[in-house]
Structure 1
Amino acid sequence: MVTQAFFLDITERKLAEAALYEEKERAQITLSSIADGVVVTDQHGVVTSINPKAEVLTGWRIEDARGQPVSQVLSITDEGTHLPISGIIDKCLHKSQPVELAGTTVLNRRNGESNAVEFSIAPMRDRSGKSNGAVIVIHDVSEARKMAEEMQFLATHDTLTGLVNRGEFERRLNEAIQSAESSDIQYALCYLDLDRFKVVNDTAGHVAGDELLIQLTALLKSKVRNSDTLARLGGDEFGVLLHSCPLEKASEIAETIRRLVKEFRFVWEGKSFEIGASIGVIAITAQSGELKEILSAVDTACYLAKEQGRNRIHIFRPGDEEIARRHGEMELTHRIRRAIKEDRFTLWQQPLQPLNETLQHIKACEIFVRMLDDQDQIVYPSVFIPAAERYQLMPEVDRWVIKAMFNAIQEGRLLNDTQSYCFINLSGQSLGDHDLLQLIIDHLNTVSVAPERICFEITETAAIANLAHAINFVTVLESRGCCFALDDFGSGLSSFAYLKNLAVDFIKIDGHFIRDMVHNPVDRTMVEAISKIGHVMGIQTIGEFVEDTATRDALKLAGVDYAQGNGIAKPKPL
């Protein structure tokens, strides 16, 4: 009996099997670890495998998904239309071509939740090149989409209130203008400027001011329709674009908003603040003009509402004389800018008369500015100052005056006597101008005159409206030796209270009390009270608008230290 033995070397097969196993494990680990979802189907579109990320995105566990039609596992809809998207995997399998879906695709989870996704579908082929399945890669773009939406929101909305910002508001307003020109739809625009908001900011701080705006925004939203646009246009300015709204209805809405703001009480750290709203209203029609013209007109209407007493509405109508006057002011601003550039201002002076015997050796004067027109005729401050203040030109005018004053001192035309003093006005807008403050300091360092002989005047209303800036301005220059006077004192409701916050050297009593004090006992008593309190605080007093000897004598009897006015001496060129 013969026995034959055959030996088969299977080393290569074992090695191949091991290599195949390792490759399979590597692929499985890779699929499990990648951040995208992966779904694998056979040539009939039946799921054969999904990775863990796909389980999360679809809501299907691998054991439940395997053997299911891919359309059952992947429920896809269009984000815009919400309609199902079907047939894309069949297209990939039949045409053996890759397919991509991006942009507005939504994958609906098994539990009803959804994610914004991007799909990439690629066919698998056997050795002969025939399609035998597909690999579907699902990229979750929910976070990226959320970030993009947040970025878009931040670009078009105010970060504090969440309202539409100026840029987006103007874009929508432009659309309304175009719509009004091409259809019969009526629009209206309301422009709101809060009254006394700065008082809250200056007395309670910017955190309180921000909280006030947030609370007020919630109230305003309650009075605005979904079809309308409410926007924050600036610090304390709001805009309301009213859709399909005639002017009469817009004025009613504006009045509702005005009352709402007026009745609103803001409480901060136990203190209650009352504000108001001045509102300009304009109709948007086919004849309204361009965006710039509409915004200019409604802004002017809002300013007129504020100028006429605040907490009121001014409706723009074609032919409005007040609006025309404001446009005249805008023309005047061009002349002011040209006067600054071409040095077409001059300085004038008016002396103050000491009333106290101990002050007779003092020689004091107030410096005024006049503008020259194209014919070298004098333009008085009452004409150009309102326009300069309205269009934020006063810091430039003040800068010219400061330079001219110090030049006059250097040339010996001013303060050429050791007992002389000069008073010079500063606008409220200049109190927060750090460049102007530095300009004054630089000049003080170069002129050979004692700083205490220069007295800067700020009006009481400007000081109250810009209290923090005013305190800083006064503190810095007083540390250099300069003096300060509070002009138009008594015009505010809390004059004496603010004296404790502002370390001033002089009080210039408001002319309203001076003019009739000879015949009006109430005015005379007010002047006496201001003089007494001033002296108690170590502050000298000045009576303005003195037109006759009787008024001057009455001021002397009231204990006022100085008198100023045309009855003492008229202003003259420096």
Structure 2
Amino acid sequence: MNAAAPPPQPASIAELRLYVLQRFASLLEGQMRTQALSNAISQMVAGVQSDVMLNLRQTLAALEPIDMPEASRGPLLAGLEQALQRCRNLEAALPLLVQARQRRGADNRSDLLSILLRFDDTAQKLSGTLVQKDLLERQSAVLEQIILSHENVTQWKLFVQNILCSFQRIFPFQFFFIAFSEGHGLSLNLYYVGNPSAENKQLARERLTRQMLHELRLPSDSAVDIEEFEIEPMEPQKPIDDVEMITVAVPEIHNLNLAGLLGVAYASAHHPEPQEIAIIRSILAVMVMVVGSSKALGRTLSELEYYSTHDPLTGLHNRRYFGEMLDYEVGRSTRHRHEFSLLMLDLDDFKDVNDTWGHPCGDQVLRRIAECLLLETRKGDLTARLGGDEFILMLTETGAAGAQVAAEKLRERLKGISYTAPDGKGFHVTTSVGVVTFPHDADTVSDLMAGVDMGLYRAKAQGKDGVGTMQAVGAQVRHNRLTRDLVEKLRLALKEDRVRPFFQPIYSGSGELYAYETLARLHEPDGQTISAGAFIETIEKYGMGRELDRAVVGHALHALKQRMLAGKAPVKLFINLSVQELQGRGVVGYAEQLCAELQIPPSTLVFELLERDAIGDMTHTRSFLTTLREKGFLFALDDFGSGYNSFHYLRELSFDFVKIDGAFVSNILNSRIDHSLVRNLTHLCQDIGIQVVAEFVESEPLWQALRAMGMDYAQGYHLGVPTPHMP
């Protein structure tokens, strides 16, 4: 006989629970039948035992009158008594056995029932857990689609539609609503699954919309603007009468910016279970935040994109956008050989408006100016605010003559605008305009911007309220460009340590070597040497004097130390300083440190400043001289006599040396006046304890003439040219 096939494995917790309940019921039924059979057997045994006892008693009673030998009667009666006693014992034990069997059966049934109840409870909990896990997995599948990227935020409607497609596949619905507060009305995004009939759409618009308004606690007569979307269906649609709606409103949280979102609603004909409803509500709550945040972020990004190219005060395009368009227009006009012009406008004395009536009044002026510029320019032109009170216009396909006319027209138009001050009084503002034309004046973005700026500068310099062109300042633009090139060349030279000192000897009146003056020289990569006169003004203008002074001081002191180590006669070292050192840039401190390290007496160094620099700020000059003397250094006033009140400085300031301006010295052989001035200046300084140095000694007769008048020291190309080494 073939063995019975094993039962199939349960496919779910519910099937397992049913299978176990059936098996337990079968066991209980079998036990009950066994108990009934046991009771029947017990009853049968009791009956048979009772009959046997009765028969034994009757047999004993029947033997009493019968006469038989004692040897036979004794064993017979003893056997019958023994059998009867066993029956009595059985009669006494049988009820106990039945009772014990009944108690055991009751205990087994109780145990089985307890196990059955506990299994059923565990199965139900496990079933609930598995259901909850399934719901959570379905919830996660929806939430995984919610990713707030830049693209999703900027296209939030499509983003929401894609989320709802995933939502509908996992938690099927027929309709989905999103309500916004827009102005004085209500904006409703209605999402259909598939393409419902016109009747169902109308029912959704009317009945379901009213239901949503009621659940969101909004007035039933609210003006509703409905925008409809369709989602691809996953299954046949059901009648709208079977739809059940779940609505989630926006939480009332202060300062929660959700772009006017009021709530969302989910309408389904599937009648979800309570657990499903809880999950759907949690997803809807997330949808509220996602939709509101996406719309708010989208609006913010749109505003950021707008203000990245527009000026927030005037609404005009900003400098960044104008730069991009100017670059594009240069390329376009180059390809098509077109002209275009730039007009840069700057309000004259606009700071006075802000200082007199405040910035709100100034802002009002700027907005009026912007409005006027937009009205007065053509559709294809570009108007932008560069910043402050500067505006710029790009006039496409406009030559120099047309730009000049437009600039004059705008200037007159802006001057005619009347503004009202906070005190009720009227005032006007004039404008200066710079003009540049492509490609006549410039053909690159940088040149165009530099040219129009220079044109504006010229208009300001000519008295304001005028128009300036690049033609009048072309040479200045070229000079500025060359200057900027030189600045970068100097920065690189200082960085690469290519600015070094040259040394020019200074001799005493007796003809002995007394000192050297350090003169900065720029070494070009090609070996060319450039003197300081070609770049010193640029150095000072662009704030590189400190780096120059440190470079010259460092190299000069090391050269002086090498001369001392060679055992040569001691000399003084004259070092030129930039005017920036008067502001305490630290070069003197650097020199003091080097002197200490190299063991050079500070009195060996004589720092020079030009007369025009030293007298520019008497307070700082006095402080500077005090610092020099405290550190042990000496001071020389260079180009003495070039100022308008040189004798006043001799009285107010105490110098160690005065170097007479070479313009006087070089002409003493030809001019009696210059000869007298140099001689008298020399004697005057000597009388008050100041030593004198004559510059520009270019010939032997000049040198002899200076010695004859008692000059203390002299220097010039006749006595020695500057060299890179200190002899």
Which of structures 1 and 2 has the bigger CA Rg? 2
Report the TM-score, using the length of structure 2 for normalisation: 0.41
Instruction: Name the one with the larger helix percent.
Output: 2
Report the TM-score, using the length of structure 1 for normalisation: 0.49
Instruction: Name the one with the larger strand percent.
Output: 1
